[in-house]
Amino acid sequence: MDANTPTSKISSDSLSGLVNFGDTDLLVSKYCQGTAFGVLGRSSDNPEGQKVLEYCLDVGVNFFDSSNGYGWGGSEITLGKAVKNRRAEAIICTKIAPYEMPDTEDGDPIPAKYTAEFLTSQLDGALTRLDTDYIDLYMLHHPIKDVPYEDVAQTLDSMVKSGKIRYWGVSNKDSKQLLKLMDVCRDGGYYTPVGLENCYNIANTPQGDELFPALLRTGLGFLTCRPHLGGNLFPKDEDVSPETPAGKLISTIEEVSEEIAKPVTQVCIAWSLSNPSITCILTCSESEAHVDDNQAGTTLELPQEALDRLSLASKTYTDHKLTTHDHLNGRWVKKDAE
């Protein structure tokens, strides 16, 4: 039997706007609010960021994402303050980056490995910063390196059994790494990962060819970050002139936006969520207006003809990009750069 078989799974139809995250009983909004603030910063003293997070709860956004790497704990503290008096309403996902945290939020971290001692100490720190007794979804922020998968699986399994976390997952994984980890967990009788967080958007799609079939086979939830990169889908040095694949993709997005009278941000979000393998989108609104815009994108249904045009333009751009770049776990990297 799969150790993650939920005991009280609720149908997503029972609560308007919420969906089950993968095969779990976590009922989450399709829009997940991040805490990796840019303009607002990631300090633990962030009243404006806290205000945005509180507004999310007010309008029905209950899914939040953070990491020990965001402000080296500063963003977790801000999130903890925002949900302190409404903890039962919030689904908290936080991640653990493989670094020993510096003494100050702007200090330099020391690389670490996902050993049992490191994972345990970092979880206790996250619980303190978030001011909570448990974390709903605890994710490894980066791929596992130089530590046996079985050791990591055993440690996360013990955390679930302790009640400190409800579920665990991974971030920045490719399909081969993900399936290997799932096999290790099942062979050892450990709680398996229930979800994945990767970067996937209309201008960043190659991983989907292999990853989505794996997600469908395993029943994992998929939280895709950066659906529109805050309006900056392309690097500053990208050639986006009208005759280029990037320029044609931009034109297609803008044409659909004009045709249906919806912002390009919402078009990008709706395109991502049209894929049945994608559970939620993750982006980091820094104002109440941004929250409203991103949330509206999760309810937008694009006409099939528009979806087809967008998908074709996306594939054309991706195919072109792969001639000059490699794709590593959601990142475009110039060939031979790494």
pLDDT at position 12, please? 42
Closest CA to 102 of 92, 94, 115, 112: 112
Q: pTM of the prediction?
A: 0.92
Q: What is the pLDDT of residue 16?
A: 58
Q: Determine the structural domain holding residue 127 and report its residue range.
A: 12-233+264-302
The verdict on residue 195 lying in a domain is yes
The answer to whether residue 69 sits within a structural domain is yes
Nearest to 166 by CA among 337, 22, 317: 22
**Summary mean pLDDT of the chain:** 91
Exposed, middle or buried: residue 16 (CB in 10 Å: 0-12, 13-18, 19+)? exposed
55 assigned to some structural domain: yes
Residue 100 lies in a domain: yes
pLDDT per residue over 93-114, tens digit each? 999 999 988 777 677 888 999 9
Contacts of 313 (CB under 8 A, 6+ apart): 245, 248, 249, 252, 253
Q: Give the residue-averaged pLDDT of 80-91.
A: 97
pLDDT in tens, 265-301: 999 999 999 999 999 999 999 999 999 999 999 999 9
pLDDT of residue 1: 29
Q: What is the pLDDT of residue 15?
A: 44
Q: For 268-302, b where at least 16 C-beta lie within 10 A, e where not — what string? A: bbbbbbbbebbbbbbbbbbeeebbebbbbbbebeb
Q: Tens digit of pLDDT for each residue in 231-245?
A: 788 878 888 999 999
State the average pLDDT over residues 70-80.
Answer: 95
Question: Distance from first CA to last CA of the chain, Å, rounded?
Answer: 41
Strands 135-140 and 165-171: parallel
Q: Judge whether residue 254 has pLDDT over 70.
A: yes
H helices present in 131-261, as ranges: 149-162, 175-188, 208-218, 245-260
Indicate whether 32 belongs to any domain.
yes
In the predicted model, is pLDDT for residue 9 greater than 70?
Answer: no
CA gap 334, 338 in Å, rounded: 8
Q: Is residue 123 part of a domain?
A: yes
pLDDT reported for residue 119: 97
The DSSP secondary-structure symbol of 271 reads H
What integer pLDDT is reported at residue 338 of this predicted model? Answer: 52
Asked if pLDDT for residue 14 goes beyond 60, the answer is no
Q: Is residue 2 part of a domain?
A: no
**In contact, 12 and 46? CB cutoff 8 Å:** no
Residues whose CB is less than 8 angstroms from the CB of residue 47 and which lie 6 or more positions away in sequence, other chains included: none
Average pLDDT estimate for 116-136: 97
Q: What is the mean pLDDT of residues 69-79?
A: 94
Name 170's bridge partners.
140, 196
Q: Do the beta carbons of residue 163 and residue 134 sit within 8 Å?
A: yes
Look up the CATH number of the domain holding residue 219. 3.20.20.100
Tally of structural domains, the chain: 1
Which phi and psi angles does 53 have, rounded to 5°? -65, -40
146 domain-assigned: yes
Average pLDDT over residues 201-219: 86
What pLDDT is attached to residue 250?
A: 96
